[in-house]
Each structure stands twice: as C-alpha cells, then as structure tokens.
Structure 1
Amino acid sequence: MPGHIKHLIRSDRGVAAIEAAMILPIMIFFIFGTIEIYQYFRAAAILDRAAFSVADGIAMQTKLVGDGPCNATDHLCTYGVVVGDLMRPVDYKNKGRMTIRLFGTDTDASGVTSWTSGSVWGWTCAGDGNCLPGAAGSLPSGIPAPAPKDTLLVVQVFQIYEPFLITSRLWSSLGGSTELSTTAFYRPRFEDLKTLN
C-alpha cells in the first residue's frame, strides 16, 4: 500500500487537465477583453475622424445655408447626413448625435478679447440626419485662445457605446454603456460664417 501511494504522488496523470482548467478561463477572458478594448478605441477613433471631417468641411465654406434640401455642401443639414456615413460601422443612426456651433469674440474697453459666453448660432443633428437650430450652450473646454474679431466653429459628436455582447455582463459591472464624445475646433477659412443664409 505505501508503494502505491508513492506511485500516485509521483504520477503526472491529470496534471495537464488541471492546468487547462485553471488557465483556460483566464485565456478566454483575456481574448474577449482584448476584443472589447479594440472595439472601444475603434469607436472613439471613428468619432474623432467624423468630428474633424465635418468641422473641416464646414470651415471651408464661403457661405452657409441654414435650411434647404440637404443636397449641397453649403447646407448645414447636409453635414447631419454626412456624419452618419463617416460613423460607419458604428450604430450612429440610433445612438448618436452631433452639435454644430459658431462662437464669436467680444473686445472690452481695455482691448481684452474673449469668446462670447454663448454661441452665435447652433444646430443639433440627430443620428438619423435630421438637423434643427438650437444647439446653444456654453463654451466647451479646451477652446483655443481668441483673436480680435475671431470666429470659431465647434463640432461635437456624441455616441452611446454598447459593449460587446459576451462581455456585457462584466462591462455593466464596470459601468455599462457609456457616451463617447469628441470636439473639433476649426476657424472658418474664408468667411466668418456668423450669418446663415
């Protein structure tokens, strides 16, 4: 009997199965966690690209039309449609929105220039491309320093990020779905764009 016990203690049978049972869940969690982190940063990168592309497109206009059939580049509502294409494959239509605002400057009696507290005009675009006037709001953080008689175009894109289905239980314990946002600042290149046609 003592010899048989010594043989069992020295035997390697079943060690691989025990090691696999211990390591396999960790490896699966690591693989899905890596996919989840990739999806999150991919969505954030798409959001950045869309905001800067829209801001750049609007900043190049010599005039802007506030309403219209949304079929020309100088119609503001066109950018509400364009951002949906730029956000693919993210589900922007159902879980996204965008604001487009223009800020001007004021110069006081002592010659100090500052941004106006509210926007000159603003539009909000829903994920389905429908844009309406009225995106008033305070100055966003990170706004660059003003120059006299300066104008600044501010495009903010928002997206609700939903975690990958398999990791959603873990993600919900870490905070669940979250709203991603990014802001692009552009100075109009040709005109101040303070008035909409």
Structure 2
Amino acid sequence: MAPKKILMIVGDFVEDYEVMVPYQALLMVGHHVDVVCPGKKANETVATAVHDFEQEQTYTEKRGHNFTLTAAFSSVKSTDYDALVIPGGRAPEYLRLNKEVRDLVREFDDSKKPIASICHGLQLLAASVALTNRKVTGYKAVGPDLVLAGANYVEVDVTEVVVDGNWVTSPAWPGHPKWLAEFLKLLGTTINL
C-alpha cells in the first residue's frame, strides 16, 4: 500500500480529540497528513476545545491544547491530496463562512475522494456540497440542519459510523475506532496484525 496524502481542515476551537487522534493515527499507519487553517501558516497553532459528555443535557466544553499546523492553507490544492478529514468542534461553524474553504471541500467531493467528517464537521460539509439523498450522521444537535439540507440523517450511537460512498461520518469522538477503520478502508489501507 502506498502512503496517501491527506488534508485536514481545522480552525480555532476544533475539537481536541477529533484533530489529535486522527492526525496521529493516520501518521502511525504511514500516511502523510497536512493540517491547515485559513489565515494561518505552518508552525502556527490553533486552540482546541475538549468536548465531553458528563451528565448535562449537552456536551461540556473546556480549553484543550495548542495544535501546531503543518502547512499553510493558502498553498493547498485538492489535486495534491488523496483524501480529506473534517473534524468537529466550534471551528466548522465559522469555517463554513469562508468561500475558499467551501470550494476546497467541494473539489474533494466532486473528485469522489474519501472524506471523513465527524461531529460538527458536518456543518462544513453541508455548507459546501449538496447533501440530497446522502446518508450521514453527525452530532445529534446538527441533525435537524442536515435533514433540512436534504440528507438522509441517521441518528446512531456516538460509537457508531455511517458510510455512504466516499463519505465516512460519525457523531463524535467516541466513534473514532469505527470511523477511522472505515476511512482507512476507503483509503485502501490494510493493517496486518
């Protein structure tokens, strides 16, 4: 298996686990991952937020780490990458307002390249491409928006995943094991144990 080149789009207050875990896991299996944020360059950082499920009616949010970016957003082209990862957190909420970001996401989808999106990352996906008849999941509070965008939204347990063609989606970071496993299948990555 040849290593794949993967792009991850993040912003300030991206969910900590949803950037850190996939980034490290994809590197671990031999892929190259560029993590970018509009308006920032390689070696600059984004602030992360840790979302947890503790007993309240919704998730809690705490300040996470500073995550160091690996490339400049201004220099990336979809044609240079094999796949895209869109983590959740607060970042997708404002990243979806950026036309360049939406255009980049659309280019990945138009090329039918694998896209892994999790939690609130579906907000960016919904703002960028037509969700009509696409089967997806995401954080349940985003579900009504996905339905209005025309998606076939499936509410699943937070540890589960939904695959539809070149898309892999999951409700939140507890779904990482299945979400990453399905994304690796789309990438053609095999792990021999």
TM-score (norm 1): 0.23
The structure, 1 or 2, with the larger RCO (C-alpha pairs under 8 Å, 6+ apart) is 1
TM-score when normalising by structure 2:
0.24
Larger Rg: 1
Query: Going by fraction, where is helix more abundant, 1 or 2?
Result: 1
